[in-house]
Structures are given as C-alpha cells and as structure tokens.
C-alpha cells in the first residue's frame, strides 16, 4: 500500500449477489464477490491508521451493455426489485464519487448495497 498516500481512498466494486445467490449459474461469481467483502474489511483495519478508507459498492441490476434494462433477463430482474427498474451507471458513479470525497472520510470497511431493493 506504499503507493496510496495517507488519507487516500480504496473503493472496490462487487455485486449484490455477494449477499444472496438469487439464481443458479452464478455460484463462483458470487463467491468471488463475497471474498471482496472480507478483503475490504480486513484491509480497512490494516491501513486505517493512515486514514485510508476502504469501501465496497455492491450494485444490483444496472443498465449496461452487458446487462441491458431491456435485455432477455430484464423482466425477471425487475420483478424482484423494490424500485421496479434497473439502476443507471450514473447511480454507481455518484456513490463512488461520494466515497472518494471528503464527506466519506469516516466511512471505512463498509459495503454499500445499490440493488434497487433486490435484497430487501
């Protein structure tokens, strides 16, 4: 961590599937995202004395080229979302910008679930 200055920010992106495996075929994917949670909590403790924060953003269905809001799985995804629609990449970017900024200097070792209520 010598390349990260004191007071820096580490923000990783995982998935809401790290909390719950909602369907088959994503076991290994979910396991790798769960591992990021433990890594981030441990790292937060290891480098916290340098005022470096370590946080994780866990998106759910987000409208992207890989997962279009009108794609073949969209209706099934929307059916389990409390908000009833996929998120936008801007939603994730704004959360990351907040975690990278001065307003989040006392948030570390945290996971921010941004899944439209899929895991509610």
Name the residues annotated as catalytic. Answer: 29
Pairing between strand 111-114 and 87-88? Answer: unpaired
At 57, give phi and psi (nearest 5°): -110, 130
Nearest to 58 by CA among 114, 118, 109: 114
- For 67, what's the count of Cα atoms within 13 Å in the CB-facing half-sphere? 14
């Amino acid at each position: 961590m010598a390349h990260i200055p004191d007071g820096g920010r580490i923000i990783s992106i995982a998935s809401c599937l790290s909390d719950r495996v909602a369907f088959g075929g994503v076991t290994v994917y979910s396991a790798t995202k769960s591992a990021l949670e433990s890594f981030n909590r441990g790292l937060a403790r290891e480098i916290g004395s340098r005022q470096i924060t370590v946080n994780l953003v866990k998106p759910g269905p987000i409208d992207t080229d890989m997962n279009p809001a009108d794609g073949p799985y969209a209706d099934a995804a929307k059916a389990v979302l409390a908000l009833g629609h996929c998120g936008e990449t801007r939603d994730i970017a704004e959360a990351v910008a907040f975690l990278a900024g001065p307003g989040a200097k006392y948030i570390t070792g945290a996971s921010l679930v941004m899944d439209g209520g899929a895991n509610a």
